[in-house]
Chains A and B, each alone.
Chain A
């Protein structure tokens, strides 16, 4: 019978009108606070987005995306910035995805109890909490100075790879763990080897979740600023290779807002571009996770 009743958890609960005379005052107080908080937060954030649009939308055009910045970014577009951002992102993903996927596969395979897994997991938790400016310090000392990469897209991308790793591993491990154990058993019963099982069955079954993890990692990398200032630098020229310094979108926003008088309009326009990219990625994540959950239902 319970199976006919829609799960209460799916839709929130209806506790309306659960008030008696004595509790009236407290109920009103809590309700007023909750509604006020919800209203104020919605208002402030709508105001924030609206003001960014008001200040920046005038600058947005096709040529803003395809022209090079001029006059320290006050005029012109953000083409070279976009290219640098993409290159930094490319380096970041090239380093973090193989490493992250392999680690996730291992962690998903091993029991929680092994000391090795516990240590790796714990250190990833700490890594996830390390402030981005500390990543910047580390990247500067390790990649730029110690490995002699200098201020370059390579240094920046590798620093971001370290930052994105925890979230990548965590979501990918969850995705792999969500593939039911029966698939392993069935495949083993059919005499398939472990590598073939993983490549042809487990990873495809987890692909939606893996992709979601990837998109989350990209989002985190695109939003990052502080770790990039002292690793990939802030030269706004067109980068010629990954050994050149390049300025990411977020660094561009910071520089225009703080160091370039009169750069606010273009800063807001760049912020809008960044927000649109991030929000597109966000909805992509949700679609992927939704489809992945949908697929999981078929299995169970």
Chain B
């Protein structure tokens, strides 16, 4: 009896370091949030949240006429670039997923999937490099200056495309094979099987993929920084340069002081809340899916 109690005590003791580690891992998010708020506080209290959106321009270091902290143009830049990228990557990614699963000739499907996996592992800075060295001059030849919203959308779209394609394939593959066998045995056509059986069943997985990759597109810094031209303005056309929130942080963190620095942390806070919302939506979709299967 005593021995058993001792061993239980021992196993509880063995568990303690594990619990502490898990707690630490869980606390990092809180820590990040806390530090962002603490660092952004001067801007939030002195400048006010409202002015971050209502100020027409972004001139945080201006001495003469007073500094201004308007982030709306950059927020819109982020939304345009990320939205365009996902509009590009979602349909094409779905097509690639279908290609790998159903349309590719047998000898090609596996090598093609392998190539897509390799592409999914290319770091964003390499996409940015290729964009800056090849794509931007190419666009610039037709519509100067080249570094533009369009370049950002294309590069970011390319960057998230392989992951969207792989996730789409996984979502399609998770549709029970017996559904497909049943529809084939019922003499349904390929378009009908894909459109009426596969996609509706794969939809939650596809939506989760799109939502999470949207988060990635919003948070991406390097690729966008290197090809978008980084001018703070409302873009009049896709050929105009834009600056995103992330690029703004990367450009100005190095020399920002006081309120300026606090405002940058404030924009980090905005980015983080966008991502939290997206993760929450993604979970909601997943939970609904699990609920409907159970």
Contacts and interface: CB of A to CB of B under 8 A. Distances in A.
Chain A bound to chain B: yes
Contacts of A264: 133
Given A225-B125, A225-B222, A226-B221, A195 B14 contact: yes
Interface string A11-36: 11101101110010011001101110
Interface residues of B, number: 94
A253 B14 CA distance: 45
A165 B35 contact: no
Nearest to A30: B191
Given A102-B18, A120-B25, A131-B246, A279 B121 contact: yes
A128 B100 CA distance: 27
Given A219-B121, A226-B221, 15 more contacts: A12-B101, A18-B184, A18-B190, A37-B99, A38-B95, A126-B276, A130-B29, A131-B275, A133-B250, A225-B222, A250-B222, A257-B226, A271-B125, A275-B126, A278-B121
A27 B95 contact: no
Given A8-B177, A130-B272, A165 B29 contact: no
Interface stretch (B44-52, B68-76, B112-120): B112-120
B19 A106 contact: yes
B23 interface: yes
Given A44-B158, A225-B222, A258-B226, A37 B96 contact: yes
B284 to A, nearest CB: 12
A78 interface: no
A119 to B, nearest CB: 6
Q: Is the interface of B mostly helix, strand, loop or mixed?
A: helix
A28 to B, nearest CB: 9
B132 A257 contact: yes
Q: Which of B95, B129, B250 is the most central at the interface, judged by chain A CB atoms within 10 Å of its CB?
A: B129
A83 interface: no
Contact of B124 (A23, A222, A225): A225
A137 B101 contact: no
Contacts of A99: 21, 24-25
Nearest to A106: B18
Contacts, number: 270
Contacts of B254: 229-230
A27 B190 CA distance: 7
A72 B171 CA distance: 47
B241 to A, nearest CB: 14
Interface range on chain A: under 10, 10 to 19, 20 to 34, or 35 or more? Answer: 35 or more
Nearest 5 Cβ contacts at the A-B interface: A131-B219, A223-B123, A102-B21, A37-B95, A120-B26
Contact of A38 (B30, B112, B128): B112
A68 interface: no
A230 B253 contact: yes
Q: Which of B7, B22, B27, B95 is the most central at the interface, judged by chain A CB atoms within 10 Å of its CB?
A: B22
Interface stretch (B53-61, B231-239, B263-271): B263-271
6 contacts: A13-B180, A99-B21, A124-B25, A137-B36, A225-B125, A274-B123
Interface string A100-113: 10110111010000
B276 to A, nearest CB: 6
A133 B219 contact: yes
Interface string B133-166: 1100000000000000000000000100100010
A106 B95 contact: no
Nearest to B219: A131
Q: Which of B7, B24, B26 is the most central at the interface, judged by chain A CB atoms within 10 Å of its CB?
A: B26
Nearest to A105: B18
Given A34-B98, A34-B99, A120-B26, A125 B279 contact: yes
B276 A15 contact: no
A225 B22 contact: no
A238 interface: no
B123 A18 contact: no
